[in-house]
Every structure is written in C-alpha cells, then in structure tokens.
Amino acid sequence: MVMSGSHRPTWALLLYEILDERGEAPRRVVEEEMMLLIPSGPAHREGVAKAKTDHAYRLRKLGLDPDPDYEPRGDLTRKGRQRLALKTIHTEVAAGRVEKFEMDNRVFLRRRMGADRGSGGHDGDGQPTFQSRV
C-alpha cells in the first residue's frame, strides 16, 4: 500500500485535496478521482477479496456451502479500486472528518469545519494541519 508520512494511503489524503479544492463535491466524482491514484496491487487484492465474499454470499443465500477453492477470474482491479475508495470515504465520514449530505437528490461530501486530515493533528513537518473553511 502506498503510504504517506502520516501512515495513511496516499488516496486517503487525496480525498482532502479534492474537498479543499472544490469545497464540496458529489461523492461519485470524489470516488472516481481517488480511484485514479490507487495502485493496482492493493486494488487487485481488494477486488479478489470482494469477489470471494460475493461468491460465498450468493451460495449461502441459496442454502449451499461456498466453494473454499473458488478463484475469481477477470479484471478485478477496478472493483478493488472502487471498494478501497468507498472504504476510505466511509472511514472519514465515520471519524467525523468529512460530512456527507444530500443536495439535488445526490450524495455530496465536504470537510467538516476544523477537521484535520486524520494525521494526529500535524503534517509531516510537525505543523498543525488545522485549516478553517472559508
């Protein structure tokens, strides 16, 4: 996983760059931009994990036992990138650093006022990361 100085993946920090630049943005736009930065290795692993979980869920729903030897095929990288981006957004919303709201029947995201980037309150130089919204 590509990590930054704050021990977080770089795509998690991209979330804040997007929201700082735009103020607020549709969740789908933020998700797509984050997906561009997620490397293929972690994305593929996450895509395989998702495919295996989905396979097991579908079989259990039919009352069957999942196949322990199931190996998904195809390009799973995009689904993995999407899943990692959505997990990051969900984590930041749950932590209270990003606010999710609806406008025009679409889900939007914006930084909460006074929220830092989840780096313990300081960036890599030891400077506070607090930035108020204008």
Check which CATH number belongs to the domain holding 30 and give it.
1.10.10
For residue 35, being part of any structural domain is answered with yes
Q: CA–CA separation, 40 vs 4, rounded Å?
A: 17
Q: How many domains does the chain have?
A: 1
For residue 53, being part of any structural domain is answered with yes
pLDDT of the chain along its 134 residues, tens only? 555 545 778 888 888 999 999 889 999 999 999 999 899 999 999 999 999 999 999 999 999 999 888 999 888 999 999 999 999 999 999 999 999 999 999 999 999 876 565 544 444 444 434 333 33
Task: Collapse the DSSP code of 114 into the 3-class scheme (helix H, G, I; strand E, B; otherwise coil) and give the result.
Answer: coil
For residue 62, being part of any structural domain is answered with yes
For residue 31, being part of any structural domain is answered with yes
For residue 120, being part of any structural domain is answered with no
CA distances, 117 to each of 15, 27, 35 (Å) = 9, 18, 19
For residue 116, being part of any structural domain is answered with no
Range of the domain at 92: 10-111
For residue 77, being part of any structural domain is answered with yes
